[in-house]
Amino acid sequence: MRRFEGLFLLALGAFLVGVCLIGLLHYDYSATLMRFPLLAAGITLLLVAVQLGLLWSGRGGAAAPEPSGAEVSDAASRPASSRRRAVTDAIWIFSVVPLVFLLGYPAGLAVYLLCVLRHFSISWALSLGLAGASFALSYGLFVKTLGVSLPVLPVWWG
Amino acid sequence: MLDSLAQGLALFIDAEVMLLALLAVVVGLVLGVLPGLGGLTALALLLPFVYGMEPMVGLGFLLAAHAVVYTGGALTAVALGIPGAAPNAATVIDGYPMTQAGRGGDALGAAFAASGLGGLVGVAALIALLPFLQPIVLHVGSPETLMFAVMGIIYVGVLGERSMTRGLIAGGLGVFLALFGYDRIAGVPRFWLGFEYLLDGVRLVPLVLGLFAVPEIVALTLGSHRTADREGRAVGFAQILRGMKAVVKRRYLLIRSSLIGVFIGIVPGVGGDTAPFVAYASAKQTAERPEDFGKGAIEGVIAPESSNNAKEGGALVTTLALGIPGSAGMSVLLGGFLLLGLEPGPDFLVEHMDLAVGLALILTFANLAAVAIMVIASPLLVRIADVPPRILAPVLSVLVVLGAFAYQNEPLDVVATFVIGLLGCAMKTLGYSRPALVLGFVMAPLIETYLHISLQRYGLEFILRPGALLLLALILAGLFWARARRYFLGRAARNGRNGNAQI
């Protein structure tokens, strides 16, 4: 976990430095415009350095996830097969983004629900029912009733 | 003040406001019943839908949902032994043993009545304190406003968090993320990287959905669902009414626990999880038979539940008066202020006292409506908790996508939500404060503007103004207290390991 946090902090530091450098060197922003971003980034970078120092000296304290009412098992204590399964499950959850862009929102959301629920071994009847309800919600309520301009056709369609 | 009360009442007595508040109460209760989805997730899911609403309608909608989440959470804590949200955890200690002993109805009645009445004590405290705060905030200048905003971020980041540095890093990152897009002072686009989407900067709704909703969805997907014994769930109205009467009989306990909740709610950043446990400990210390606690004492249900809802009234005091959120949920509520065109901070109470009163009335309405709904519908609502997380997670993903898009009809908001969701997952896993990030994001424009004004008007000497110095001292005291708290907690943990802990 310490290594993961170290990487997280390094990525955060690189992001802050990179954005500030782009502002200073590429956009050539004035001192007034950059004063506050540099102050915010400077203080945050200082804190990032302190936390990195604490981590490397072993005094950074164990990462303490925020409490949640849900029962979430510790990923690190799972066997490898279970970890692989967890990664696959998480990818399925995030697959909603490419699906709505590939198939359009109403159809993409319905297909997403059907696929994910079946992946989680939920019965065909319930999966189809929920996919249909999702289509009714996104197309019937959002597009037709509320007039939200939800893209019905796939993005690549044009 | 009487004028503001009348105007607040007029804002509240509006069919649209009340109907939407009622809808929000139902949504809040359902989200509260679902294990793992707390008030923050409720606010994150509802935030996109308030865009474009009237301020009273939108804020009332958000506040009503947030205020009753923990009333819903009490149901699963008592009936199933699973806290709907973290602040309901203290209720499990005595509520679930009561259910196992066949007294589930008494425990539910006590939990609902304590929640509702505790919420009312919170509102009474809010209404009593607002008139005293208004004259004070009239004398707040730009340097003090700046210091209040900084204080809010530091308090939320540091207090109640396990690591001071992690909380502050999160707050700093939130401030920095808010600096993308058009600068409020010069009107020049900053850091937009030639990407038109970033001209408007990072947007609040994808940020909140990504930070709070997406990590909960991932946690639901990866977590195991606790199943509870179905025995003892069947409850009758007579039992529920008996439990409610028990609260009235123990009114001093109710008032004391509620005031503990109000006080903890007022202290910025201490967090909602603390209040129920402090109230529980206080109830146990003062009980005639403390040995009954943990085995099904009804006082062990009344104390945490009343403090749970009362703390929202307390948290709203500093949120409305100073722009400093008293709880994590209030950080997101401040985001709602921005979406509705209101600026949080000391000026809010001066300009919108009527709205503050209206929100207090919404809080009253939500608490009472929640109790009525829970008493009537608890046998049905308890079944919602049986929905397996693996069904719930993808359904919530669909709602997140629709919410993210509906905010500004912008497909890239959906992408941004899930990209920020990765950041949210990392922050949650590593213990970085997500409320501090949101608060930093919400407060950054205010900080930048007031820093600019303060420097223009007073130069660097602005920090030497008495009000600014006092606030600086309070910030340092907060940092010191956070360190001291961690030291004492560490010492208590070490004592506990040595077998010396006293409970």
Other Cβ atoms closer than 10 A to B166:
27
Question: What phi and psi, each to the nearest 5 degrees, are found at residue B385?
Answer: -65, -15
Question: What phi and psi, each to the nearest 5 degrees, are found at residue A74?
Answer: -75, 115
Q: Is residue B475 within 8 Å of residue B168, measured between CB atoms?
A: no
At B278, which helix (H) or strand (E)?
helix B274-286
Region B132-150 average pLDDT: 79
> How far are the Cα atoms of A68, B295, B357 from residue B78, in angstroms, in the given order?
17, 13, 33
Both tokens of residue B429?
Answer: 């896993």
Other Cβ atoms closer than 10 A to B493:
11
Region A82-100 average pLDDT: 88
- The span from the first CA to the last CA of chain B, in angstroms, equals 46
Helix, strand and coil percent figures for chain B, each rounded to 5: 80, 0, 20
Say whether B190 sits in a helix, a strand or coil. strand
Q: Which residues contact B80 (CB under 8 A, 6 or more apart)?
A: B96, B226, B228, B233, B382, B385
Q: Is residue B280 within 8 Å of residue B300, measured between CB atoms?
A: yes
What is the rounded CA–CA span in Å between residue B258 and residue B255?
A: 5
What pLDDT score does A77 carry? 56
Among the ranges given (A56-60, B325-329, B406-410), the one the predictor scored with the smallest mean pLDDT? B325-329
Q: Is residue A113 within 8 Å of residue A127, measured between CB atoms?
A: yes
Q: Which residues contact B123 (CB under 8 A, 6 or more apart)?
A: B313, B360, B361, B363, B364, B367
What is the rounded CA–CA span in Å between residue B424 and residue B418?
A: 9
Q: Which residues of B touch A72 (CB under 8 A)?
A: 36, 219, 222-223
> Which DSSP string corresponds to B122-181?
HHHHHHHHHHHHHHHHHT--HHHHHHHHHHHHHHHHHTTSS-HHHHHHHHHHHHHHTTSE
Question: What phi and psi, each to the nearest 5 degrees, are found at residue B451?
Answer: -65, -45
Question: What phi and psi, each to the nearest 5 degrees, are found at residue B4?
Answer: -60, -40
Judging by DSSP bridges, how do beta strands B181-182 and B189-190 pair with one another? Answer: antiparallel
Other Cβ atoms closer than 10 A to B388:
12
Among the ranges given (A96-100, B199-203, B293-297), the one the predictor scored with the smallest mean pLDDT? B293-297
What pLDDT score does A39 carry? 95
Other Cβ atoms closer than 10 A to B411:
18
Using 50, 70 and 90 to split pLDDT, how confident is the model at B409?
confident
Using 50, 70 and 90 to split pLDDT, how confident is the model at B499?
very low
What pLDDT score does A81 carry? 75
> What would the pLDDT profile of B252-286 be if each residue is shown by its tens digit?
999 999 998 888 888 765 556 678 878 887 888 78
Q: Is residue B440 within 8 Å of residue B169, measured between CB atoms?
A: no
Region B456-472 average pLDDT: 90
What pLDDT score does B388 carry? 85
Ranges A102-116, B231-245, B265-279, B299-313, most confident: A102-116
What pLDDT score does A62 carry? 55
B221 and A CB contact within 8 Å: yes
Q: Which residues of B touch A132 (CB under 8 A)?
A: none
Q: Which residues of B328-338 are buried (b: 16+ CB within 10 A; e: fewer)?
A: bbbbbbbbbbb
Is the pLDDT at B426 greater than 50? The verdict is: yes
Q: Which residues of B touch A36 (CB under 8 A)?
A: 179, 447-448, 451-452
Is the pLDDT at B126 greater than 60? The verdict is: yes
What mean pLDDT value characterizes chain A?
A: 85
Both tokens of residue B494?
Answer: 């070490």
Q: What's the complex ipTM?
A: 0.88
Region B199-207 average pLDDT: 89
What pLDDT score does B155 carry? 80
Question: What phi and psi, each to the nearest 5 degrees, are found at residue A148?
Answer: -70, 135
Q: Which residues of B touch A109 (CB under 8 A)?
A: 398, 401-402
Is the pLDDT at A69 greater than 50? The verdict is: no
> What would the pLDDT profile of B348-367 be if each residue is shown by its tens digit?
887 888 888 899 899 999 99
Preferred mutation among A21, A36, A105 to probe B, highest tally of B CBs within 10 A: A36
What is the rounded CA–CA span in Å between residue B362 and residue A14?
A: 45
What pLDDT score does B208 carry? 85
The verdict on a CB contact (< 8 Å) between B391 and A117 is yes
> How far are the Cα atoms of A140, A149, B396 from residue A145, in angstroms, in the given order?
6, 11, 21
What pLDDT score does A41 carry? 96
> Looking up tokens 């900067």, which residue turns up?
B201
Residue ranges per structural domain of chain B: 2-494
Query: Higher model confidence: residue A11 or residue B189?
Result: A11
Using 50, 70 and 90 to split pLDDT, how confident is the model at B501?
very low
Is the pLDDT at B397 greater than 70? The verdict is: yes
B191 and A CB contact within 8 Å: yes
In chain B, the percentage of residues whose pLDDT exceeds 90 is 24
| Cα atoms in the Cβ-side hemisphere of radius 13 Å centred on B95 | 33
Region B152-168 average pLDDT: 79
> What would the pLDDT profile of B64-89 be if each residue is shown by its tens digit?
998 888 888 888 788 877 666 667 77
- Distance, C-alpha B321 to centroid of its chain: 16
The verdict on a CB contact (< 8 Å) between B222 and A73 is yes
* Interfacial A residues in 84-103 facing B (CB < 8 Å): 86, 89-90, 92-94, 96-97, 100-101
**How wide is the angle at C-alpha B262 spanned by C-alphas B292 and B7, nearest 5°?**
140
What pLDDT score does B467 carry? 87
Is the pLDDT at A68 greater than 50? The verdict is: no
Q: Which residues of A touch B308 (CB under 8 A)?
A: none
How far B133 CA lies from chain A's nearest CA (Å)?
30
Say whether B326 sits in a helix, a strand or coil. coil
Both tokens of residue A18?
Answer: 């990179």
What pLDDT score does B202 carry? 92
What is the rounded CA–CA span in Å between residue B468 and residue B146?
A: 9
What pLDDT score does B84 carry? 66
**Cα-Cα-Cα-Cα dihedral sign, residues A71, B421, B316, A66:** positive
